[in-house]
Amino acid sequence: MIVRIWRARADRDGARRYREHFTESVVPVLGETAGFLGAWLLRLDHPEQVELQVVTRWESLDAVRGFAGDDAEAAVVEPAARAALLDYDATVTHHEVVVDA
């Protein structure tokens, strides 16, 4: 199993708007992608901003490419997401799950 992790930052309103975008637009696309196993949107509040992490689970890197394209390391950030965020990572990391307890 592969875990794909992406990070972004937003103000509180932007974090709310990104959550709506994620649940209404991203999750349905992910759900239709072969090899997709699940996703979490994580939120960490700081005094001045909110840190967001998107963690998705995949059967393989080939399955990730089915969503992200040939450059699997590039973040997929739609215009609606960009509008909600202060900034975001242009790349993602992929981790192989070695223990799933």
- For the stretch 3-58, pLDDT in tens is 999 999 999 999 999 999 999 999 999 999 999 999 999 999 999 999 999 999 99
pLDDT score at 17: 98
Please check whether residue 57 lies inside any domain of the structure. Answer: yes
Query: Quick one: 39 exposed, middle or buried, by C-beta within 10 A (0-12, 13-18, 19+)?
Result: middle
Stretch 73-80: mean pLDDT: 95
**Ramachandran quadrant class, 35 (left: phi over 0; alpha: psi -120 to 50; beta: rest):** left
pTM above 0.85? Answer: yes
pLDDT score at 64: 97
Q: Comparing C-alpha atoms, which of 12, 1, 8, 54 is closest to residue 29?
A: 54
Stretch 73-81: mean pLDDT: 96
pLDDT score at 80: 95
CATH code, domain with 9: 3.30.70.100
Please check whether residue 40 lies inside any domain of the structure. Answer: yes
Please check whether residue 101 lies inside any domain of the structure. Answer: no
Strand partners, 50: 10, 45
At 32, give phi and psi (nearest 5°).
-95, 0
Q: pLDDT band at 98, cuts 50/70/90? A: very high
Q: Comparing C-alpha atoms, which of 45, 46, 94, 87 is closest to residue 67?
A: 94
Number of separate domains in the chain: 1
Residue 46 sits in which domain range? 2-96
